[in-house]
Structure 1
Amino acid sequence: MKAFLMAAGRGTRLRPLTDTRPKCLLPIHGKPLLAIWLDLLARHGVSGVMINTHHHANQVERFLTGYVRHRELAIQTVHEPHLLGSGGTLAKNRDFVADDEDFVIAYADNLTNLNLSEMVDIHDKFRSMGGIMTMGLIRAPEPKQCGIVTLAPDARIIRFVEKPDEPESDLANGGIYIANRRIFDYFSNHGVNEGHVLDLGHHILPRLVGHMYG
C-alpha cells in the first residue's frame, strides 16, 4: 500500500511559527510532525509515500534527505510552485498508485496515533460493500470548523457538509482516508490548472456521499 501525504500548506493559523518553517516540520516533544507520520506509515506496512511541497519546500527536502530511519519506505516528493489543493495533488499524481491498489490520503500537519492497520481492515470490509473511500472520523470540539458527516446504520456516509453554519452533530472528518482508484471517477469535471485549487473537502467528498464509509 502507498500513501499521499499532504505537506504543502502555508500553516497561516500557526503564524509566526510557520513564517520560518513549514507546519509539517514543527516539533511535537522534539520530533517533527513529518517524522511522526513517516514512522506511523512505515510501522503499518506502507511501502511508498508521495509528499507534496510548497511552503519552505527546501526545508522539507533537506529533512527528507537526512531521514534514514525506514529504508523500506520509498519517499517521493512533488513540488507545487502554485498550490493545487489536496484534490489537485491527487488528480495530478494519480499514476503514483496502481489501478488495483488502495492507498492512504493524510495530512502531514495533523497529529494522530491511529491504528492504521485496523483502519485498513475496516476499509477492506467497506470495500466489499461497494465503498470507494473510508474516512477516519473524530468528535470535533468545534464542529463549525470541520467537515461534518451523517452516518447510516451500516456506517455509510449519507451526508457531508464542509464547515456548516449549523452542524447536525460533532462527528467530523478526521483528515485521514483510505481509497481506491475509483475515487478519480469523481474528479472528471475538474481540471488541474495553474491557479485552480481543487480541494478534497469542498469539491470531491460531497460527490462521494453514499459511496464512502466512516
Structure 2
Amino acid sequence: MKAVLLAAGLGTRLRPVTDAVPKCLVEVAGRTLLDTWLDALAAAGVDEVLVNTHHLAEQVAAHVAGRTAGPLVHLAHEPVLLGSAGTLVRNREFLDGEDMFLVLNADNLTDFDLRVLVDAHRAGGDPEGAAGGAVATLTVFRTPRPSECGIVEVVDGRVVGFVEKPAVPRSDLANAGMYAFGPEVLEEVPEPLPRDVGFDLLPRLVGRARAVSIGDSWFLDIGTPQALERARAEWGARASA
C-alpha cells in the first residue's frame, strides 16, 4: 500500500520556528512530525510513501536519507507549490496500479490508528451499495470551532455535505486531514493547478464518500507556536505515561 504525506507547506503560521526548520521536521517529544507519521504509516502496512517538499527541501532530503527503517520514502520537490490536490495529480505515476492509497497532512499530530481508516475504507463498500470500496473515506472529529475547519455533514456514514471553513457551519464534524482514496479521485481534480483537497476535491466527492470518526484519539493541528507548545506538553506527557 502507498501513501502521500503532504509536507511542502511554508508553515507561515508557525513562524519564527519555520524560518529555519521545515514544518515536517519540527520536533515533538524528541521526534520529528515526519518520523512520527512514517512510523504510523509503517504500522498501518504502508510500504512506500511520497513526501512532497518545497520550503527548506534540502533539510527534508538529508533527514530522509538518514532513516534506516520504515517505509520506502520518495521525495517530490515542488519548485512552485501545486496545492494538496495538485500534488496527487502530478504524482499519478506513483499511485498507478493502487486500488487505494492514503493521503495525510504532515502538520497534524495524532495517535489515531491508521489501520482503522484502512479497514473502514476496504469494508465500507460504495455509498450506493456496490462492491469495491467507496471512492473516498474521510476521518472526522468533533470541533468546538467549526468555522475554522473543513466541516463535514454525515448521514448514516455517508458524506452528504462538505464546506471548507464555513461562515455558518451546519455541523461540528471537522475534517481531520487523513484520507483513504480510490484512484478515481484523481480524475476529479480540475485544472489548472494549484488545487486544494479541501476547497477543490472534497466538495466533488459529496455523496460518494464515507466518514470514519477518530473517536477519542488525541489530535492537534500543529499550525501555530501556541499549538506546538501544547503538543509538546500533552504529547510528551502521553509518551511518558
Fold in common (TM above 0.5): yes
Q: Which amino acid aligns with 1:119?
A: L
Contact 2:162 2:202 in 1 (8 A): yes
Match of 1:11 in 2: 11
Distance in 2 (alpha carbons) for counterparts of 1:201 and 1:127:
23
Q: By how many angstroms is 1:99 displaced?
A: 3.3
Q: Which SS does the other structure have where 1:42 is aligned?
A: helix
Query: Structure 2: where are the runs of 5+ without partners?
Result: 212-241
Match of 1:20 in 2: 20
Change (3 A) 1:209 1:123: same
Q: By how many angstroms is 1:114 displaced?
A: 1.4
Aligned length: 206
Contact 2:84 2:197 in 1 (8 A): yes
Match of 1:183 in 2: 185
Q: Which SS does the other structure have where 2:109 is aligned?
A: coil
Contact 2:135 2:184 in 1 (8 A): yes
Contact 2:2 2:98 in 1 (8 A): no
Which of 179, 197, 209 does residue 194 from structure 2 map onto? Answer: 197
Contact 2:136 2:179 in 1 (8 A): yes
Q: Which amino acid aligns with 2:106?
A: A
Distance in 2 (alpha carbons) for counterparts of 1:111 and 1:100:
26
Q: Which sits farther off after the overlay, 129-138 or 54-63? A: 129-138
Percent identity reads 44
Distance in 2 (alpha carbons) for counterparts of 1:32 and 1:40:
12
Q: By how many angstroms is 1:186 displaced?
A: 1.1
**1:64-79 to 2 correspondences below 5 Å:** 64-70=64-70, 73-79=71-77
Over residues 20-77 of structure 1, what are the superposed CA-to-partner deviations in whole Å (9 max), with x where a residue is unaligned? 111111111111000000000111110100000001101100110111132xx11100
Which of 170, 176, 184 does residue 168 from structure 1 map onto? Answer: 170
Match of 2:85 in 1: 87
Query: Structure 1: where are the runs of 5+ without partners?
Result: none
Distance in 1 (alpha carbons) for counterparts of 2:182 and 2:93:
12
TM-score (norm 1): 0.93
Q: Which SS does the other structure have where 1:46 is aligned?
A: coil
Q: Which amino acid aligns with 1:84?
A: L
Distance in 1 (alpha carbons) for counterparts of 2:5 and 2:153:
26
Match of 2:149 in 1: 146
Q: Which amino acid aligns with 2:152?
A: V
Over residues 171-197 of structure 1, what are the superposed CA-to-partner deviations in whole Å (9 max), with x where a residue is unaligned? 01000000110112212x423xxxx42
Q: Which SS does the other structure have where 1:167 is aligned?
A: coil
